Amino acid sequence: MLEIKDNVAVITGGASGIGLALAKEWVKQGGKVVIGDYNDAVFADVAKELGESNCVCVKVNVSQEADTENLAKTAIEKFGQINLVAPCAGVIADGMMVSPDKSDPTKVKKMSLEKWQRVIDINLTGVFLTVRDCLEQMVIKKCKGAVITVSSTGSLGTAGQINYSSTKAAMSVFPKVLTAELMRRKLGGQIRVNAVAPGYTATAMTAGMNQEALTAIESDIPIGRMNKAEEVVSAMLELYKNEAIAGEVLFVHGGLRLGSKG
């Protein structure tokens, strides 16, 4: 079993939501964290909560190569190692790919390339760059650890989320491809790659939804409620600690796939 104490996690999107919940638990169990996030306005509060000796916060646009390279190098400069890479940064920009006007089917509204590309840039390219640059440092420094990408039940396909679902399907494939690549370089025992695929999770984002929408969502979940962020984190830490798990996707959705939407 891998230990957390004195080990270092690089977490993008780490200033809020699941990323912040992961950072809190990692520090609670004795680890150090490097938080990468675009919202640097909250860094002082995050550092105070986690303990300034336990973390370093770096402003990052994960779609920019220079930023992700700097993030990985900062982790090495500050703490000397990287043991967990958790690219939690993500965005949504929902909409139908094509949507004919109900009163006039000759008029069709299309998803803009901008809306498509924004999600691809953060959720897919951003993960590629973050994982690539952190893996580079892990290999150079001979760090033992794991990569955990964040997929979603949306990876199974959700109407109105062609951009988001496509990126989350990719997150489910990342572990399989990278596990095979690391094995070919005889690094499979040193660095494992897995994914967690949460269902609806109670975060600041969902807290802003109206109660009617939340009730409708929860009625489709067999356990009758959304995930807690801490429950998703618990699954991520199991993927990190259990050295027999590699190349897998762990769904955490309260049985959603078995419910009325399954």
The two three-digit tokens of residue 87, written as one number: 């690219």
Q: Which of 82, 183, 181 is nearest to 133 (CA)?
A: 82
Q: Which of 38, 164, 200, 240 is catalytic?
A: 164
Tell me, letter by letter, the H, E, C secondary structure of 145-209: EEEEEECCHHHHCCCCEHHHHHHHHHHHHHHHHHHHHHHHCCCCCCEEEEEEEECCEECHHHHCC
Task: Residue 68: name the closest of 89, 83, 54 by CA.
Answer: 89
User: Of the candidates 54, 56, 84, 52, which has an alpha carbon nearest to the alpha carbon of residue 194?
Assistant: 84
- At residue 24, what is the residue type? K
List Cβ neighbours of 174 (8 Å cut-off, separation of 6 or more).
Answer: 127, 131, 149, 193, 195
Q: Which residue has the tokens 């890479």?
A: 85
Order the strands of the 8-12 sheet from edge to edge: 55-59, 32-37, 8-12, 84-87, 145-150, 191-198, 249-252
Active-site residue flag, 240: no
Answer positive or negative: Cα dihedral of 43, 49, 50, 52.
positive
User: Which positions are annotated as active-site residues?
Assistant: 164
